[in-house]
Structure 1
Amino acid sequence: MYLFIIEMSGTAPEQCANCLGPHSANFADCPARPKKVHGVFRRLTKEQRDHIRVVGAETFRQRNVEAQRHAPDLQQNGPQQDSARSLERSSPRAPSPAASRAPSCIMVATTPEAEEEPEHPRPGSPRKRRIVLITRPHDHDHGHEVFQANVGKIPPVHDCALALADSERYDIVLLQEPWTTTANSRCLTKTHPAYDTYSPVETWHSNSTRPRVMTYVRRDSTLSADQNRPYQSRDILWLTVNDTIIVNFYRQNDERDALDTLLQWPIPDRCLVAGDFNARHHTWQTGPTTNRGHEIASWASENGLGLLNTSDIPTNPHGNTIDLAFSNVPLAEGNVEDHLATSSDHFTLSLTLPNVEPAPTQPGKIRVTTDDELKRFVEIVELGSTAIPVVASSPLELDKLASTLVSLLQSAAKAAGRPARKGARNAPWWTEECALAAAGYRAIRRLYPLGFNQEVQIAKRDFHRVVRRAKRLYWRNLINSFSDSSSVFKAVRWLRSPGAFQPPPLQVDDVVYETQLDKANALRRATLERRTAEDDIQDPWIEASGWTAACHSEFTQRSGRLSHRLSPTICEDSPTRYTARFPALYGAPSGPALNQSCSTAPKYGTQGQPDRGGTNRLKTGRQVSNISCRE
């Protein structure tokens, strides 16, 4: 945030708001500006700033006395020349048209709105000013916006951090000490519909095994995230987002393992390391070095990591700078944002990583659900059914038939359906009442930025109470709205959730695969390529020796009893329903031939009870295996 004092009118000498000297506030050589030492900007100490303000005020007083001596000469020149000179002097300090049109510019007038500036002010009259606060707008098109905060294991604080990050459109959220719990052998934490959740550990059973960092990545087609795991640690989370490695770090005061692991990790080219370091060093905070701060500073200097924090800007109400961010990305920057206060005992860091290449767009799934889409899908399949081979008796012809069917169905789905992409959306329980409560807490905290008085504690308690009540009412109203089977299915689906976390790196034998493409190829090789063509049955049409009618009867009875315990999975629709939907496909010349060849094999596990439509519904959960047996 930048502070400019724009002079509106009058001829009184200008005075800097920082050093109180006789120059403008944006003077390049102002002695109160932060100095760059060894590549790091350092702010002046309180003693240095007070000394500079005393000297600046004395210089301004002497300069003002000299100006008053020449005031009679200036009054004789007339109001027109004085007005012209005033405009000439004020024009270099006026904001540019681009800055005046910026939506993030907040203008605060120091005089009442009812008062208007006189057209020709009297010479020597006191000058009226207005204060312009220009904040840096977030640019999400050319870089990553990273939100970092310690939420202190408090549920409302965790929820507030995710909601604020989503409202400000942050791409990555780095949280330390997240809220976690276990219920019915399930590991739970806070999630948000706009972000994917990444955890260093997938399961835990106590406070000694729970994760102490959590990273969230926005669900966006331009963001591609892969979790890395060079070391097993619950205090460090490595994540590759596009071409940048993001490291989420947490360290307690009395522990050494997390910091030892981080110090021995080799630093890549584009990297960001941010989190709660719980250490002090004169590089980021004036005073004695504590908690291995010298090791952290040496590690950053040796690996070319620049400190993104501004020196002596505290990150907690105690006045300490313990939340740090290091990066070797050029032009990266970081600031402590007061308007992103999460009501925890840590302040929020806003980090910007520029010049990030967007991820390549991946083809998504196709969704065909509406009546119009299904109708169009059937029409395309009927038109393309003429290309299906007429004869399919040899293995080569069967392979050609299968590939033709797959190509036909895929092209029809792409033409008739729509891509199903998971987009980011707001948290449904975050209401306007929650936003107002958060704004009220921030207003109280601005009055006491480094205090723990009763007013701050009451505002924090009221804000947490509002968040809890909003979430409780949302879920209660949602459950009370269930009235049909589809609503009940949504409730049951919660119990069968695959989990809140994204899949971790995959290990096959002794090799670990981290990227999504490598994991997919490893799964394909480990599951689908375990057998080759040499393992196929030479002649599948020869009846197996030892298979008798008694064996067939026993197998049928057991499969019938098993069918009542298993739910239908893939082929739940009856054959007549498929025939009615795709008459052209089933009426093709290859259809009867294929059905006749399949009918020669015994049909195992197809016992069932008639459904409402009069057809037999398969009750076994192994329809795919049954089809393979018939062939």
Structure 2
Amino acid sequence: MTQGAKATATHRNVTAAHDARTADRSPPTTPDPRARTAGTHPAPQRVNGTIVRPTKKQLRIIRTQGARAAKEARTQEAANAQIQKEDKARNNNSRKRPATEPTAPNHTTALQLAHEQGCDIVCIQEPWVETGTKTQNHPAYECSSPVESWNNPDTVLEERPRVLTYTRKTTRLRVCRHRTIPSRDILWISVNDIKILNVYRAPGTDEVVDYVISLAPHPGTIIGGDFNAYHHTFEPGVDNRYRGEEIAEWAATTGAAFIGEPGVATHAAGHVLDLTFSNIPFTRTVVRADLDNGSDHLPLITTIPGRGTPPPERQLYHVPDGNLERFAGLMRTAVMTLPDVQSIRSPKELDEYAATLTKLFDAAIEAAGHPPRQGQRGAPWWTVECARERHRWLKEDRTPEGRKRFQNTVRQAKRKYWTQIIDEVKDDKDLYRIVGWHKLEPRLKSPPLQTDGVTIEDPLEKAEALRRALLDRFDPSDDLEYDPLDPQHWHGCERIPWSTSLSEEETEHNTIRVSSTSPGKDQVTVRLLKACWQHVGPLIHGLYCKCLHLNHFPTVWKTAEVVMLPKGGKRDKSSPRSWRPIALLSHSRLESSATSTWGRHLDAPPWTSWHP
């Protein structure tokens, strides 16, 4: 388990309705007890006016066979009545169950338990959702949905997704969502080139089964979910119903073998309804009753050998607060090895000096920091009381009342956590963040892009498509035909005032007194600069002045990381126009300092209007 990537098929279905076609639901004809004996032992007949009656031996055989046939008929009638009763109850539950709060604790508990087990992928069927494109989230996971939004209160039950797939937030996983048929019951994703299909088959429908049995799975595929089908391959001794035979035949002919545990119930009623198929060698799925989250379906854990094809990992480091003093000491020692900044005489020397300083920052961050623990943070509201009440329900009070008490404990823990966050507001910044919770966009993984009629799914290809669509819209042909500052065309003042000097106060204000904390490629944040400013401040001030004096911006500081952020109010995230590029520069704030000093020394020229 510890060697492979683990994926949970946390089949968290609130309903357990079986799917059936009309023909499957009609009860079989009840056998007539008399039909078993009529052919061999006919009724008494009149021969030549005389009634010929059966002998005592024949009557004994007739009575024995008739009693046996009647018993079989009563047993069959009882079985058919029970099946119809279960189907009716489950269909009623499916129609009546709204997407309301009582199921939210099951959903959130499933995510927390999966996180504690170290699962990389969590597949959930029949999740908890609410109007406004809301569902349950977890700090360690990103959520993918087959539906982009569900905002209409009147149609939320028809629009809501019935499958969600969560993937762990880590650079070791390259996640790609695929666009298939428009269905809220089917969701394809790829994780490190391993294709995973999450399905939910609703009662009375055939769409999901028709889609699955039409597939010819590529190598490295896993298909799992709630199929609501019966077959003796999955559950020995059960009658083949609800298209279970077609599913078993498809698995046998395509090589997508059933990798679950035959006969081990996945539902509280004692049947195997949740199925997992795969053509990856040595992949297996087990039922984990010990991870019960309060649903009527038990969790399944699928173990995949290896981790597929992981992406190239970029090693990033985080300096914790306890190591800031050590980081400052490393930078103090490092800058002592640099020559005097006043010795710089040319743009080439300026480039080399800035590059050396950037390398010193990188070395100090690596020495004082450690790789960030991505996807390792659990749900902050999951308390000791939640774990204790769940253990009590599983081990001591396995009753509906015990489960309800556990769910109420989870609900109260979440409410208490958020109430405490609100009560601890100290300043306007905290208040602004809390108010922003009500305006947050749904935290769903971005869908495939649609550009020029082409669907783009791979993350790297999506990044390249956004770059072309948003950043390469202009070319040299869009340049001005002439330089407006050329003396032949310029008729303003003779020169623009320009100063090549900066005060230390201006440098400090524009470098470490700013609100932006997003680092660029060099990962040097304002927080780190503040920690070592007493050692590097004079050096950076002199370097900025040299840049202004030589009229040169160091090459190493020109590289920016471009992050695409979704625009607010844009629902179609598949369009490049729904994304806004944000450039994250390196730790240099030279451009801010230059703008500040330029504005300070620039007098109002005749070609502008001044509004005090």
Q: TM-score range by the shorter chain?
A: 0.5 to 0.7
Matched, 1:202 2:148: yes
Query: Displacement of 1:250 after TM fit?
Result: 0.5
- Alignment match, 1:336: 287
User: What amino acid is aligned across from residue 249 of structure 2 in structure 1?
Assistant: S
Which string of whole-angstrom CA distances, capped at 9 and with x for unpartnered residues, describes residues 321-374 of structure 1?
111111111122222221111111112222222233462452256667976557
Gaps of 5+ in 2: 15-98, 494-513, 519-525, 527-532, 554-593, 600-607
Matched, 1:462 2:405: yes
Q: 1:494 to 1:387 in 2, by over 3 A?
A: farther
- Alignment match, 1:592: 549
Partners of 1:495 and 1:329 in 2: CA distance: 43
User: Are 2:222 and 2:277, in contact at CA under 8 Å, matched by a contact in 1?
Assistant: yes
User: Are 1:246 and 1:273, in contact at CA under 8 Å, matched by a contact in 2?
Assistant: yes
Identify which of 164, 189, 198 aligns with 2:113.
Answer: 164
Partners of 1:492 and 1:529 in 2: CA distance: 37
Matched, 1:349 2:300: yes
Matched, 1:277 2:227: yes
Partners of 2:145 and 2:209 in 1: CA distance: 18
Matched, 1:307 2:258: yes
The 5-angstrom pairing of residues 97-496 of structure 1 reads 139-152=1-14, 154-182=103-131, 186-205=132-151, 206-285=156-235, 286-357=237-308, 359-363=310-314, 372=325, 373=327, 383=338, 390=345, 407=355, 410-417=358-365, 418=369, 422-443=374-395, 456-495=399-438
Query: Displacement of 1:388 after TM fit?
Result: 11
Higher mean C-alpha displacement, 187-196 vs 487-496: 487-496
Query: Displacement of 1:252 after TM fit?
Result: 0.4
Which string of whole-angstrom CA distances, capped at 9 and with x for unpartnered residues, describes residues 386-423 of structure 1?
5998567xxxx9xx98x879856753542343555634
Partners of 2:516 and 2:477 in 1: CA distance: 29
Partners of 1:172 and 1:525 in 2: CA distance: 32
Q: Count residues in correspondence.
A: 423
Query: Displacement of 1:161 after TM fit?
Result: 0.9
Partners of 2:410 and 2:181 in 1: CA distance: 36
Which string of whole-angstrom CA distances, capped at 9 and with x for unpartnered residues, describes residues 281-301 of structure 1?
222133332222222122212
Which string of whole-angstrom CA distances, capped at 9 and with x for unpartnered residues, describes residues 214-238 of structure 1?
1112234433322222333221111
Q: TM-score, normalised by structure 2?
A: 0.61
Q: 1:478 to 1:222 in 2, by over 3 A?
A: same
Query: Displacement of 1:471 after TM fit?
Result: 0.9
User: What amino acid is aligned across from residue 3 of structure 2 in structure 1?
Assistant: D
Which string of whole-angstrom CA distances, capped at 9 and with x for unpartnered residues, describes residues 422-480 of structure 1?
3411111111111121112222576xxxxxxxxx2111111111111111111111211
Partners of 1:512 and 1:386 in 2: CA distance: 52
User: Are 2:129 and 2:160, in contact at CA under 8 Å, matched by a contact in 1?
Assistant: yes
Query: Displacement of 1:201 after TM fit?
Result: 2.0
SS at match of 1:523: helix
User: Are 2:197 and 2:224, in contact at CA under 8 Å, matched by a contact in 1?
Assistant: yes
User: Are 2:9 and 2:225, in contact at CA under 8 Å, matched by a contact in 1?
Assistant: no
User: What amino acid is aligned across from residue 410 of structure 2 in structure 1?
Assistant: V
Identify which of 579, 582, 585 aligns with 2:540.
Answer: 582
User: What amino acid is aligned across from residue 480 of structure 2 in structure 1?
Assistant: I
SS at match of 1:193: coil
Q: 1:267 to 1:378 in 2, by over 3 A?
A: farther
- Alignment match, 2:28: none
User: What amino acid is aligned across from residue 591 of structure 1 in structure 2?
Assistant: L
- Alignment match, 2:502: none
Query: Displacement of 1:248 after TM fit?
Result: 0.9
- CA-atom RMSD, angstroms? 3.9
Partners of 1:387 and 1:268 in 2: CA distance: 63
Partners of 1:321 and 1:569 in 2: CA distance: 56
Partners of 2:359 and 2:135 in 1: CA distance: 41
- Alignment match, 1:506: 449
Partners of 1:328 and 1:508 in 2: CA distance: 33
The 5-angstrom pairing of residues 615-626 of structure 1 reads none
- Alignment match, 1:8: none
Partners of 1:512 and 1:384 in 2: CA distance: 53
User: Are 1:201 and 1:234, in contact at CA under 8 Å, matched by a contact in 2?
Assistant: yes
User: What amino acid is aligned across from residue 363 of structure 2 in structure 1?
Assistant: A
User: What amino acid is aligned across from residue 429 of structure 1 in structure 2?
Assistant: W
Q: Which has the higher contact order (CA 8 A, sep 6+)?
A: 2
Q: 1:387 to 1:322 in 2, by over 3 A?
A: farther
Partners of 1:302 and 1:410 in 2: CA distance: 59
User: What amino acid is aligned across from residue 518 of structure 1 in structure 2?
Assistant: E
The 5-angstrom pairing of residues 514-533 of structure 1 reads 514-533=457-476
Higher mean C-alpha displacement, 539-548 vs 470-479: 539-548
Q: 1:263 to 1:617 in 2, by over 3 A?
A: farther
Partners of 1:388 and 1:506 in 2: CA distance: 51
Query: Displacement of 1:247 after TM fit?
Result: 1.2
Query: Displacement of 1:269 after TM fit?
Result: 0.2
User: What amino acid is aligned across from residue 465 of structure 1 in structure 2?
Assistant: N
Percent sequence identity over matched residues?
A: 31
User: What amino acid is aligned across from residue 388 of structure 2 in structure 1?
Assistant: L
SS at match of 1:284: coil
Query: Displacement of 1:485 after TM fit?
Result: 4.2
Q: TM-score, normalised by structure 1?
A: 0.59
Q: 1:171 to 1:295 in 2, by over 3 A?
A: same
Q: 1:376 to 1:423 in 2, by over 3 A?
A: farther
Which string of whole-angstrom CA distances, capped at 9 and with x for unpartnered residues, describes residues 575-614 of structure 1?
xx999772121231x4135399xxxxxxxxxxxxxxxxxx
User: Are 2:228 and 2:273, in contact at CA under 8 Å, matched by a contact in 1?
Assistant: yes
Q: 1:445 to 1:174 in 2, by over 3 A?
A: farther
SS at match of 2:11: strand
User: Are 2:3 and 2:306, in contact at CA under 8 Å, matched by a contact in 1?
Assistant: no
Partners of 1:388 and 1:496 in 2: CA distance: 53
User: What amino acid is aligned across from residue 296 of structure 1 in structure 2?
Assistant: I
User: What amino acid is aligned across from residue 526 of structure 1 in structure 2?
Assistant: A
Partners of 2:4 and 2:471 in 1: CA distance: 41
- Alignment match, 1:87: none
SS at match of 1:207: helix
